[in-house]
A = this chain, B = another copy of it.
Amino acid sequence: MLFQGEFNNAIDAKGRASIPAKFRDVLSSVFGDERLMVTQNDGGLAAYPIQEWEKVLEKVKSMQASPLKDAINLALISPAVECSFDKQGRIQLSKAQRCYAGLESEIREIVVVGSINKIMIWNRAMHAEMRKHAEDLLKTEPQALYNLGF
């Protein structure tokens, strides 16, 4: 369990998103490298430790050519940008990234979510909606949840 938990942080007018200190600690202690590869996925931004990103890249490279591989390259690999932290623990998101993730100028509220080997960044309102949908789905499956031990 590397990255875990949800954090209600902010993005400032310049597009700098602050990342929880916990996550930075994981980066430097586990990976020894505070850089992140930030790409766009599923309406939000996904930030991978460089090491993890390399692993993903290898796997994609070894796929044989197919429309799926092309789509992965186009939608996930190409948009990825390397980011590092400023002294206040923030990463600078590009305009394209903010645009994709619905983080336009006035919006300050984001959620930073640990997701095992990567860090997700969402517009907070969007994330709340996704969570609501997820919870509605869970409510229709009480038995399944019980069986899983929840």
Contact = CB atoms under 8 A, between A and B. Distances in A.
A81 interface: yes
Contacts of A134: 70-72, 74-75
Interface residues of A, number: 54
Given A59-B147, A68-B144, A75-B138, 14 more contacts: A5-B79, A5-B94, A6-B78, A7-B95, A7-B96, A8-B95, A8-B96, A68-B138, A68-B141, A70-B134, A71-B137, A73-B115, A79-B113, A96-B111
Contact of A135 (B7, B59, B75): B75
A75 B67 CA distance: 21
A144 to B, nearest CB: 6
Given A134-B70, A134-B75, A52 B149 contact: yes
A133 B70 CA distance: 11
Contacts of A81: 4-5
Interface in A14-53: 40-42, 46, 52
**Among A1, A133, A148, which residue has the most Cβ atoms of chain B within 10 A?**
A148
Contacts of A114: 78
